Amino acid sequence: MRLRPFIFLAALLTVLSACGGARTTPLPTATVEIYRDPAAAIAARVEDLLQRMTLAEKIGQMTLIEKNSLTPDQVRELAIGGVLSGGGGYPSTENSPAAWADMVNQFQRAALSTRLGIPIIYGADGVHGHNNLYGAVIFPHNIGLGAANDPVLIEQIGRVTALEMAATGVFWNYAPAVMVPQDVRWGRTYEAYAERPDHVATLAVAFLRGLQAPDIAPPNRVIGTPKHYLGDGSTAWGSSTTDNYQLDQGETFGDEAMLRAVHLPPYRATIAAGARVIMASYSSWNGQKMHASAYWLTDVLKGELGFNGFVVSDWAAIDQIDSDYTRAVITAINAGVDMNMAPYDARRFIDALTQAVASGAVSEARIDDAVRRILTVKFTMGLFEQPFAQTDLLAQIGNPAHRELARTAVAKSLVLLKNEDHVLPLPKDIAHLYIGGQAANDLGIQSGGWTIEWQGRTGSIIPGTTILAGIQAAVSPQTIVEYNQHGRFSGDPSAPDAVCIAVVGELPYAEGRGDSASLSLPPGEQRVLRRMEAACARLVVVLIAGRPLIITGDLPNWDALVAAWLPGSEGAGVADVLFGDRPFHGRLPVTWPRSLDQLPLGTGAGEPLFPYGFGLTP
């Protein structure tokens, strides 16, 4: 079918409609709907569709709403462009792959029943696997992957994450986080790969390449979202005005040169690797919210870096710009935000932006630019051809191969920081093992935040293998393993043929709720350590934490120390290394401070406890 005349017609209609001001009634649908033709060039499909859209339909596309905040009928009525599951946003019916697919498909059917049938893009945070979904494999959080520092492995993790998300129709992943944390007191440190931009860039590109691979669920491709642009990892302690946060969502310190040197490189790299969406940061710079910065969002990101995808706001981040919501919307959209993660009140946003266009405060050209970007991404993802969950992939969710990959990642993430008298690796036929600490036997703790719930949760919240179970499976049948979470044992841990392992850690947290002034272990875990330090002849400490903790005073009491970060569902990977089936591979992706006065990075006197890149091999 010769499309040339129709492309000309579409272009002509575009020009006419641009001259005609904000259209409120739809144009007659031309006989050939180029936008529905998968053989047509994406640019032609976009222009053809754009010129058919009313202003209301365009603004609907710029609206991203949390799934509990609207019904499928409202998605249709408002021509909503995106729906998301926030942290913990699993289906209200049940948290299963099939229920996820049904939930997403319900919204999608509503979107397809609109006048133009534009599919929604459904998003969620798959920051360490499809982590809101019960049954998905849960990978180590990024800081552990940063310690593993294996791009091939991380690309594979991206692929598996994409597959498990595509199976449920969630084709949009709010990952990878490409933050470059400069102060490990930050509750989001564990979402980052490393403290150095080149390290972050290499691993983020690997993840994105895997996640966005075209062969995982054709014709669909899952897309990622490098976040949070720009400077989220360099906020000053005490500068946040959100809840009781200290660092998260605060004011970025440093000049433009620092921002460009430390925080921009991962965006350059991921844009070059095909990033189609970028999420703006809650943080501010020079007193201006990043969501309000036309310089950084438009001049630098879209102009200088040539980013031609779309910018999505963070969760209700636009609201933080101005107490007057309409002014906030005008500022953010004019600055370069293309889609607003509202996330609750669609009408409030739609009305505010409609009013802004009517008053001329936001031009229709800006609206068209935002919608053009959004539609281009949707066509690129194959959503028009295959809008529904790829349910033929459901059976692969959490399968043994995916879990084996995660177990390998866990093993590669462990960093050996101390090993007196080469106590590690342990022999598998050791006579007595005494294991203490809540984190030894708690899948929720070993997975951390962003697991089933936004903040994560302790307990058996996911299927997987605890660190204790991994140890019990690794040792010989003759080995006597005694576990007590409080570190109180009936046997004799002081015996020469005994070794103690204390698996202690932080309780789960996410975002600013994890901002920590002390970087200390919870009191209960400290009591376990004191008990075991007093009772044990040899004590190996395995630290389950999203970041370095201040353990300088405790370290002399331990024979060995292993940083295991937040390993996720496959805790057996820890035993693989403790008992020598796999080598210690990990190296510190962040500097381990000796004291709090060495934070943020580069301040304070003296050497760190362990430098960036440190890690022993027994």
Query: Cβ closer to ligand GLC: 281 or 591?
Result: 281
d(C-alpha 328, C-alpha 381), whole Å: 30
What is the nearest approach in angstroms of ligand GLC to the Cβ of residue 280? 10
Q: What is the CA radius of gyration of the chain?
A: 25
Q: Following DSSP, what letter does each residue of 145-202 receive, concatenated?
A: HHHH--HHHHHHHHHHHHHHHHTTT--EE---B----S-TTSTTGGGSS-SSHHHHHH
**Among residues 190 and 315, whose Cβ is nearest to ligand GLC?**
315
- CA–CA separation, 146 vs 589, rounded Å? 5
Instruction: Rule CB under 6 A: say whether 227 interacts with ligand GLC.
Output: yes
Q: Which is nearer to ligand GLC, 125 or 368 (CB)?
A: 125
Q: Does 81 bind ligand GLC (CB under 6 A)?
A: no
Q: Least Å distance between CB 133 and ligand GLC? A: 14
- Measured in degrees and rounded to the nearest 5, phi and psi for residue 178 equal -115, 25
The residue number with the shortest CB distance to ligand GLC is 174
Closer residue to ligand GLC in complex, CB, 86/600: 86
Of 63, 281, 278, which is closest to residue 175 (Cα–Cα)? 278
CA angle (433, 436, 441) in 5-degree steps: 105
Q: Could you say which of 511, 525, 570, 576 is catalytic?
A: 511
Q: Does 207 bind ligand GLC (CB under 6 A)?
A: no
* Smallest distance from ligand GLC to CB 510, Å: 8
CA dist., res. 80 & res. 121, Å (int): 9
Q: Which is nearer to ligand GLC, 285 or 315 (CB)?
A: 315
Q: Least CB distance from residue 87 to ligand GLC, whole Å?
A: 5
By CB under 6 A, tell whether 164 contacts ligand GLC. Answer: no
**CA 353, CA 359: separation in Å to the nearest integer?**
10
At its nearest, how many Å lie between ligand GLC and the CB of residue 18? Answer: 34
> Which CB, 88 or 608, lies closer to ligand GLC?
88
Minimum distance between the CB of residue 282 and ligand GLC, rounded to whole angstroms? 6
Closest distance between ligand GLC and the C-beta of residue 448, in Å?
14
Binding to ligand GLC by residue 457, rule CB under 6 A? Answer: no
Q: Which amino acid is at 84?
A: L
**Residue 568: which of 483, 479, 449, 395 has the closest Cα?**
449
Residue 174 found at the interface with ligand GLC (CB under 6 A): yes
Say if CB 291 and CB 320 are below 8 A apart.
yes
Site for ligand GLC in 546-605 (CB under 6 A): none
CA angle 600, 602, 607 (to 5 degrees): 110
Please select the residue that binds ligand GLC; options are 72, 82, 87, 146, rule is CB under 6 A.
Answer: 87
Annotate 520-557 with b (16+ C-beta within 10 A) or e (fewer): ebeeebeebbebbbebbbbbbbbbbbbbbbbbeebeee
The bridge status of strand 284-285 relative to strand 251-252 is parallel
Q: Does 159 bind ligand GLC (CB under 6 A)?
A: no
Least separation in angstroms between residue 466's CB and ligand GLC is 27
The continuous run of DSSP H or E covering 64 comes out as: strand 63-66
Residues 39-58 that bind ligand GLC (CB under 6 A): none
Give the Å distances, CA to CA, from 550 to 105, 145, 449, 614: 47, 21, 20, 16
Minimum distance between the CB of residue 44 and ligand GLC, rounded to whole angstroms?
32
H-state helical runs in 52-113: 55-61, 72-78, 97-112
| Distances, alpha carbon 55 to alpha carbons 11, 72, 356, in Å | 18, 21, 12
Closest CB to ligand GLC among residues 125, 442? 125
Residue 407 and residue 528 in contact, taking contact as beta carbons nearer than 8 Å = no
Specify the residue, 185 or 227, whose C-beta has the smaller distance to ligand GLC. 227
* 310 beta partners: 277
CB crowding 42-56: b at 16 or more within 10 Å, else e: eebbbbbbbbbbbbe
Out of 314, 364, 453, 570, which one is annotated catalytic? Answer: 314
User: Which stretch of DSSP H or E encloses residue 548?
Assistant: none
Please, are residues 103 and 95 in contact by the beta-carbon 8 Å criterion? no
Question: Of the two residues 224 and 487, which places its CB atom closer to ligand GLC in the complex?
Answer: 224
Cα–Cα distance measured from residue 525 to residue 515, given in angstroms and rounded to the nearest whole number: 19
Q: Which of residues 91-150 bind ligand GLC (CB under 6 A)?
A: 125
DSSP per-residue string spanning 401-469: HHHHHHHHHHHHH-EEEEEGGG--SPPTT-SEEEEE-GGGG-HHHHH-SSBSBTT--SSS-SSSB-HHH
Q: How far is the CB of 227 from ligand GLC (least distance, A)?
A: 6
Query: In the window 404-423, what residues touch ligand GLC (CB under 6 A)?
Result: none
Active site residue 511: yes
Window 347 to 366, contacts with ligand GLC (CB under 6 A): none
Structure tokens at 378: 């949707």
Q: CB within 8 A of 179, min separation 6: which ones?
A: 188, 191, 192, 200, 227, 228, 232, 233, 263
Among positions 301-340, residues that touch ligand GLC (CB under 6 A) are: 314-315
- Which lies closer to ligand GLC via its Cβ, residue 242 or residue 526? 242
The reply to whether 289 sits near ligand GLC by the rule CB under 6 A is no
In the complex, least distance from residue 123 CB atom to ligand GLC, rounded to whole angstroms: 8
Residue 92: CB atoms within 10 Å: 10
| Closest CB to ligand GLC among residues 187, 464 | 187
Q: Which of 86, 250, 265, 444 binds ligand GLC (CB under 6 A)?
A: 86
Q: Is 314 a catalytic residue?
A: yes
Give how many residues touch ligand GLC by CB under 6 A: 7
Contact residues toward ligand GLC (CB under 6 A) are 86-87, 125, 174, 227, 314-315
**Catalytic residue annotation:** 314, 511
